[in-house]
Structure 1
Amino acid sequence: MSVSEQGPPPTARTPAEHLAARRALVARPGPPSPARRRELSDLTDAWIRELWHDAAPAPEGIALVAVGGYGRAALSPQSDLDLLLLHDGHRSDDEVARVAEALWYPVWDSGTRLDHSVRTPGEARKVAAGDLSVLLGLLDLRVVCGSGALGQRLRTAVFDDWRTSARSRLEELLETCRERWRRAGEVAFLLEPELKEGKGGLRDAVALRAVAASWVADRPHGDLDGAVERLLDVRDALHQSSGRALDRVLLQEQDAVATVLGLADADSVLRVVADSARTIAYAGDTTWRRVEQLLGSRRRAPLLLSRRPPRPRVLAPGLAEHEGEVVLGRDGLVDSDPVLPLRAAAVAAQAGLPLSPGTAERLAATSPPLPEPWPREARDALVALLGAGAGAVRVWEALDQAGIVDRFLPEWALVRNRPQRTPVHRWTVDRHSVETCVQAAALVRRVARPDLLLVAALLHDIGKGRRRGDHSREGAAMAAPIVARMGFSEPDQQVVVALVLHHLLLADTATRRDIDDPATAAKVADTLGSVEVLDLLSALTEADALAAGSAAWTDWRAGLVAELTRRTRAHLRGEPPPPVTPLTSEQRALADAGDLAVTVRPEGGGWSVTVVAPDRRGLMGVVAGVLALHRLSVRSATLRTEGGIAVDTWSVVPEFGDPPALEALRDDIDRALDRRLDVAAVLERREASRAPAQAPRTPAQIDVVHDASETATVLEVRAADRLGLLHRLGRALSFAGLDVLAARVATLGAEAVDVFYVVEDTGEPLTAERAREVARILKDVAS
């Protein structure tokens, strides 16, 4: 019997009426759901069947089958229709072509995107044998019209082919997945997640269904189906709000997607995406690991010889390694040992092995809760887990997927899957915290208390879950009861709380204050109080920045933090301040001769430009303007004056990727200093030629930082970054008759944070009234 003859008779609607009903459903408001996708698929089936009825092919030996997402009856509002016209080869080419034209042209005319083909079963199998994407689509084959028997024969044959060739084709499938992951990244941790191609995306779910269909590995643990449906809901909402067939949730689309889904905001959308993608990625990791183990064992063992299952290798009391995973041993007393989940995790991470998903689920279901305060063994196991380095990441993920983390650290729920909308961060808050532990594990030999460093690394951003004010202060308030619950002594608790409270202190101070000014180190020392805390904070600062990404820990930033730490340590020990790093003999000779020296060298994905010259008022603004003329975006800068010699070091990124032109830079700086080049006029013309801003700028914020220096007035400028901003600020300070003794310049995404140490021409700091006047001038210039 043909599919079109089964079930109730077709309605009297025409194809146009069916298409109109389908369009109405796509436009109908309301949240996406599996039922809505099924309804859209059913309406599409009805429309296609009417087209089939009008084409009037003979019922035997021909069928129209849906593949891919349409085959799974999971259509999104802007989905393609993937259709295969299948025939048995007994019809004439003209007859098959006539049926194809009667189907394809109305679909094209409707504006619906169509992926179509016409093949016999043998041709379809041959194409699938050479094209893995075709094969995966055919695994979801569903007959829409025509001969159900013909479609079923092809489906059976494709599954037989897949299972017969699974050993080689699964390796091919895994490699295509890895290539996608390299290209598209991890869905869970992207600010603009690619829902289909990335790791943890919809294509991974298709690949996992194919693995299960091969009978090589079992269906993954966990709520895989629910995670897939949630990702599909987000994609449907994206299609509805944008009216386009998008798979990447762009920043400008996220608020509208949240509205369609009934969520609070764009961050809520990203949390749904991250939670779903992590579930899919975790299922994929465990499944592919199992596939590789099975295929590897089959390669090693003769097919005609029976093999005894390997005996588990005991790793610790109650824990063993079995087939590359940590599992419970025969003597594992799950229901009476509250420390066992953490001990199992520590053993797995230290051994570089994954924790079996089944074991994690059993531990979550049967282990009793930890007593409060924790016993020493539980603290030691947590520290061992966090100190295992890279091996801790997948083990922590296993604990989190099984719900174990929430049992011993319920505050984790506040940061789980929370996005970070800053350009330097590459992970969500929770994953960043774990990655900080990975980096801290490599630094434990630098500190006296590795355990406190690792726990502080885990908790340093816990305050980001509350969204109230300063996350460092919020985090410190949250960390206090957590470390008390863990059973740390009161002095140890105070150290961890201080590390969480001040985890940004060294980086912020080093990049925004003059570290050659003795007041800077004195203030940091007074805040921290001891060398032990300083050393711990120095290691935490480095680990935090390395975990954030390469942009957060450049050689320049690392050098500044190291120098600030060195000076603060000397202050805490009562030693005289270390001498300022002297100029090189070459720099001093050039400057003494009155010459301008410019050097350029590569640095951390960008370039470092150093300018050495006799100091003069306005030098900073001139150099900043010339860099802007050369389309070099300033990411950071350190300006220093010693004995009348200015040494300005600029970290820049070329707008178009070309390295800075050394000779042209030097010539233009020289001409600008001699007033043969009007930098301001050229910048004004260039900015006028650019497209106007789409939204008004937020007014700049200018702060007079009190007690930051005893010898100068410190002005901190926060403003939207734009072409020539630093040049304008430098000119304004020069016109105000001020000398810039030192400066720290940083650009964080679209935000500029520039700090200037200024004095009057007499060398004295500004009076309070004068400082307020200059702050008003800078605000006008920067806004």
Structure 2
Amino acid sequence: MSGLVAELGASYGAQRARLLARPGPSGPGRRRALADLTDSWLRGVAGAAPGWDDEGLALVAVGGYGRRQLSPGSDVDLLLLHDGREGVSAVADAVWYPVWDAGVRLDHAVRRPAEARAVATEDLPALLGLLDARCVAGDDGLVQALRAQVLADWRAAARRRLPALREGCRERGERAGDVAFALEPDLKEGAGGLRDVHCLRAVAASWVADRPHGDVDGALEQLLDVRDALHLTTGRALDRLLLQEQDAVASRLGLADADSVLRVVASAARTVDYAADVTWRRVERVLAPPRRGLRLRRPPRLVPLGGGLFEHEGEVVLGDGARPDDPVLPLRAAAAAAQRGLPLSPGAVARLAAAPPLPDPWPDEARDLLVALLGAGPGTRAVWEALDQEGVVTALLPEWAPVRSRPQRTAVHRWTVDRHLVETAVEAAARARRTDRPDLLLVAALLHDLGKGRRRGDHSREGAKIVRPLARRMGFAPVDVDVLCDLVLHHLLLVDTATRRDLDDPATAAAVAQAVGSAQVLELLHALTESDAVATGTGVWTDWRAGLVADLVRRAGAALRGEQPGPGAPREAELAEQADLVARVAEDGAPLLTVRARGRHHAVTVVAPDQRGLIAAAAGVLALHRLSVRSADMRTRPAPSGEGADVAVDTWLVVPEYDDEPVADRLREDLVRALEGRLDVNGLLDRREAARGPVRVPVQPARVEVVPGASGSATVLEVRAHDRPALLHRLGRALSLSGLDVRAARVATMGAEVVDVFYVVDGEGRPLTDDRARETARILRDVAG
């Protein structure tokens, strides 16, 4: 008998290998074929087991195997169900061991029906698995009876257990993240992933509320296809789609590249997530207790909202007065729902999808309603997503399609391009009262990254090309079209300039003033810049960046008016605080150092006689103390008396790697030792880096550019590179060894990338010649890797 079992296992292994090697992408057919092949093998194994009986014994497939959704690396989930007979453990061993011997991942249990039923009443994952129970071999009547009992128990206890299932979904989603927006999504556990689909099946089985079908079923198959390709590509049972696997997975699926597979995943996950929102909303409505003193619920009321729209049970619905031939109806319904913080009912959204297209140009009402929708703030999110799921958004704005679910491969971006645009509009709504044209701010926020849908050129320039005809079609006046195009074209201007250029250099403010052209655009751009940064991700818009941008806006505004900018109140207070330190350093020549907490960051201010190598020494000391630099502002001040050496004032925003508070006295002591040559900073950092071992994650090569026209008194070098310990120290040391002085510097760390900008002069205090600038750029490129 053992020879027969071995023969069955070998045959199964060979047929399974041929099935998985079949050319072409995976799909439901291959998953069912794999499940059927496994069924056939296990029936043979069970039938050969000593003591097997087709009455009172059943081999049961549960979970994904029960649903015939067997992926190449999936566990085979089996339950040996029995009627309480003796010797069942020997039968179980006779089934389990051949499965293990075949190298198949097995999740198994042996239970009587009453035991399985009891486990399902306490354990939600076990319940979800049994809802899909299917007899593979043996007594099908035993399995059907158990499944009926489990379903009856679930339906009887659903009102009590559904909130726990909902909370479990929420906690799991928060832990694993959003499948739609992660760069490395967890296809199974993440919000909008496979687990959520199975939970929706459980809700439908409870009879408390049905789930949307159609698109959800298609989304499930897409997610399973991607997981199959991941298993086949890696040879492992992975659920997280790692960056290094995405190109190969895309190729196996017949897609162009890694971005394409992420778009498929994002689109499918958003469909699942939207269905989950709708379903759980229905559940909550059913489970909501009646008002106190009322034994029966009152009939739901229709609250008129105007224009044929009504509020009904917490949703906006369409009444008989809503004309299906009205092209403005989708925006009217969306604005009404968002302004009241209500969702659109799924039925209403389906009807809105059939509305005729808007004329060209749009009527004024349509444009005003779009602004009202965007101005609703947080209420915009759910309404926009509902419209997007039914294709209403791309019908209104065909330019939206190329950015829909498009991933952004930067660590600082939390969202896909389209969701980021919506989030920016939500943030802009909170800042709309700061401008005299909130409509232009909101529309620019929604459109500012449309250029990312094109795979060519600078996305700001490409976006401005897209927005011009779009804004005309929306019915904006020509002067407003120009403003919208300027906002899209320059939406990165303020933050890039403020964090990478010396604000004290008159050329900086003059360049910004020339680019924006008017006070109105500058005001709108300021609000858009803040909205864009806050919507990007946590920690992108810091007090430091906000202060720099505000200072730049003030200076550029003065330049537009033909005035000389004063220091400004915040800057004036900062300069006054530093003046005493500068005076003391100029008098006795000893460096001073202060530390101030700024939330989870610390501001380390170094005031010292200006000297070559100061930046390298300070950066090295911070690295030795395991303080990661997030940003830095370095300036040179003349001595207060007008005589003697200049004084450097460097402010570093740092984060402790191990939550150890930086101690000013210890930092100052090590800085003095480093400047005097008594502390070998470079050697200590080299030994620490060698102890860490080589970096195994592939990174893009560094880019160093000479920025023409950025300053009239210095050469500006911009370094973009992957962040690594002590990089700033090594860059500063390279400049010092090259005989160059750093007049000012701006440092910014964004996720895993750094942008370091140095204003350098030669030993005579002059800008570098072209040849020397190019050579210096080459040196820095070698250092940054």
Asked if 1:316 corresponds to 2:318, the answer is no
1:728 matched residue in structure 2: 730
CA 250–483 in structure 1, closer or farther in 2 if over 3 Å, else same: same
1:774 and 1:261 mapped to 2: Cα distance? 46
| Superposition map of 1:404-423 within 5 A | 404-423=392-411
1:162 aligns to what?
154
User: After superposition, what is the alpha-carbon deviation per residue over 1:499-527, rounded to whole angstroms, capped at 9, x for unaligned?
Assistant: 00000000000011001111100110011
Task: Tell me the distance in 2 between the aligned counterparts of 1:154 and 1:184.
Answer: 33
Counterpart in 2 of 1:53? Answer: 47
CA deviation vs aligned residue, 1:556-578 (integer Å, no higher than 9, x gap): 11111111011111111222122
**What letter is aligned with 1:747?**
T
Q: 1:22 to 1:418 in 2, by over 3 A?
A: same
**Alignment partner of 1:347 out of 336, 339, 344:** 336
What's the counterpart of residue 768 of structure 2? 766
- Distance verdict in 2 for CA 1:14–1:695, change over 3 Å: closer
Q: Any conservation in 1 of the 2:6–2:98 contact (CA below 8 Å)?
A: no
Map 1:477-556 → 2, pairs under 5 A? 477-556=465-544
Question: Which amino acid letter does the alignment assign opposite residue 601 of structure 1?
Answer: R
Partner of 1:111 in structure 2? 103
Letter in structure 2 aligned against 1:464? K
Question: Contact 1:636–1:650 (CA<8 Å) still a contact in 2?
Answer: yes
Decide which of 181, 190, 204 is 1:212's aligned counterpart. Answer: 204
Which SS does the other structure have where 1:388 is aligned?
Answer: coil
**Partners of 1:518 and 1:577 within 8 A in 2:** no
Aligned to 2:442: 454
Report the Cα offset of residue 115 of structure 1.
1.3
Number of the residue aligned with 2:113: 121
Does the 8 A contact of 2:540 with 2:750 survive in 1? no
Match of 2:279 in 1: 287
Question: Are 2:743 and 2:760, in contact at CA under 8 Å, matched by a contact in 1?
Answer: yes
Identify the match of residue 384 of structure 2 among 392, 396, 401: 396
Q: 1:429 and 2:431 equivalent?
A: no
TM-aligned CA distance change 1:271 to 1:428, over 3 Å: same
Deviation at 1:661, TM superposition (A): 4.3
Instruction: Show the counterpart of 2:594.
Output: 599
Separation (CA, whole Å) in 2 of partners of 1:121 and 1:699: 62
| C-alpha separation in 1, matches of 2:450 and 2:460 | 8
Q: Is the 8 A contact 2:585 2:591 kept in 1?
A: yes
* 1:173 partnered with 2:165: yes
Q: Does 1:33 align with 2:27?
A: yes
After TM superposition, the structure 1 stretch with the greater mean CA deviation from structure 2, 162-171 or 49-58, is: 49-58
Alpha-carbon deviations, 1:614-645, whole Å to 9, x = none?
A: 22221111111122222333222110121222
User: Where does residue 249 of structure 2 map in the other structure?
Assistant: 257
Structure-2 change in CA distance of 1:778 and 1:186 (3 Å):
closer
Task: After superposing the two structures, state which structure 1 stretch, 652-661 or 29-38, moved more.
Answer: 652-661
1:484 & 1:608 partners in 2: Cα distance? 47
Deviation at 1:683, TM superposition (A): 2.3
Answer yes or no: is 1:273 the counterpart of 2:265: yes
Stretch moving more, 468-477 or 685-694: 685-694
Whole-angstrom CA distance in 1 between matches of 2:750 and 2:371: 33
Give 1:669's match in structure 2, choosing from 658, 671, 676.
Answer: 671
- Between the aligned partners of 1:591 and 1:340, the Cα distance in structure 2 is 69
Amino acid at match of 1:192: E
Which letter maps to 2:432?
A: V
Task: Indicate yes or no: 2:351 matched with 1:362.
Answer: yes
Which residue of 4, 10, 13 corresponds with 1:16?
Answer: 10
Which aligned pairs between 1:561-600 and structure 2 lie closer than 5 A? 561-579=549-567, 581=572, 582-584=575-577, 585-592=579-586, 593-600=588-595
Partner SS for 1:609: strand
Q: Name the count of aligned residue pairs.
A: 767
Give the direction of change, closer, same or farther, for the CA distance of 1:251–1:658 in structure 2 (3 Å limit). Answer: farther
Tell me what 1:43 maps to. 37
The structural deviation recorded for 1:605 is: 4.1
Mapped partners of 2:237, 2:748: distance in 1: 39
How far residue 410 of structure 1 moved from its aligned partner, in angstroms, is 0.4
Query: Is 1:590–1:613's contact at 8 Å kept on the other side of the alignment?
Result: no
Helix, strand or coil for the counterpart of 1:189? coil
Q: CA deviation at 1:670?
A: 1.4
Counterpart residue identity of residue 625, structure 1: G
Q: Secondary structure at the match of 2:539?
A: helix
Letter of the 1:674 counterpart? E
- Aligned equivalent of 2:642: none
Q: Could you list the runs of 5+ residues in structure 1 that have no partner in the other structure?
A: 1-9
Change in 2 beyond 3 A, CA 1:135/1:769? closer
Deviations 1:324-356 (A, max 9, x none): 100002211122x11010010000000000011
- Alpha-carbon distance between aligned partners in 1 of 2:472 and 2:526, rounded to the nearest angstrom: 24
Aligned with 1:474 (options 437, 440, 462) = 462
Residues 19 and 47 of structure 1 are in contact (CA less than 8 Å); yes or no, is this contact kept in structure 2? no
- State whether structure 2 residue 316 is matched by structure 1 residue 326: yes
Call closer, same or farther: CA 1:81–1:496 in 2, change over 3 Å.
Answer: same
Shift of the alpha carbon at 1:171? Answer: 0.9
Counterpart residue type for residue 612 of structure 2: R
Q: Structure 1 counterpart of 2:603, which letter? A: S
Which residue among 213, 230, 242 is the counterpart of 1:238?
230
User: What's 2:452 paired with?
Assistant: 464
Q: Does 1:445 align with 2:471?
A: no
1:222 and 1:283 in contact (8 A); partners too: no
Task: Identify if the C-alpha distance between structure 1 residues 782 and 35 changes in structure 2 by more than 3 Å, giving closer, same or farther.
Answer: same
Match of 2:180 in 1: 188
Deviation at 1:719, TM superposition (A): 3.3
- Counting aligned pairs with the same residue, the percent is 66
DSSP-derived class of the 2:653 partner: strand
Matched letter for residue 534 of structure 2: L
- What secondary structure does 1:550 align onto? coil
Question: Would the alpha carbon gap of residues 109 and 696 (structure 1) be closer, same or farther in structure 2, given more than 3 Å must change?
Answer: closer
Q: Deviations over 1:705-744 (max 9, x none)?
A: 2221222222222334333332222223223333211101
- Deviation of 1:308 after TM superposition, in Å, equals 4.6
Instruction: Name the CA distance, whole Å, in 2 between partners of 1:409 and 1:318.
Output: 24
1:640 aligned partner: 635
Letter in 1 for 2:120: A
How big is the shift at 1:597?
2.5
Q: TM-score, normalised by structure 2?
A: 0.94
Pair 1:380 & 2:382 matched: no
Counterparts of 1:164 and 1:657 in 2: how far apart (Å)?
51
Q: Match for residue 219 of structure 2?
A: 227
3-state SS of the aligned residue for 1:637?
strand
Aligned mates of 1:244, 1:602 — CA distance in 2: 46
Hey, what's the Cα distance between the residues in 2 that align with 1:722 and 1:557?
22
SS of equivalent to 2:408: coil
The range that moved more, 710-719 or 161-170, is 710-719
* CA distance in structure 2 between the aligned counterparts of 1:195 and 1:700, rounded to whole angstroms: 33
Q: CA RMSD in A?
A: 2.0
Distance (whole Å) between structure 1 residues aligned to residue 373 and residue 94 of structure 2: 64
Q: Which residue of 738, 761, 766 maps to 2:740? A: 738
Q: 2:620 aligns with which of 625, 636, 640?
A: 625
Q: Which residue of 2 aligns with 1:6?
A: none
Aligned in 2, Cα 1:699/1:312: closer, same or farther, shift over 3 Å? closer
Distance in 2 of aligned mates of 1:223 and 1:341: 21
TM-score, length basis structure 1:
0.94
1:435-477 superposed Cα distances (whole Å, 9 cap, x missing partner): 0000000000111100000110011000000010100000000
Q: Say if 2:701 is the partner of 1:711.
A: no
Distance 2:249 2:90 in 1: 42
Q: What one-letter code is carried by the residue in structure 2 that aligns with 1:744? A: R
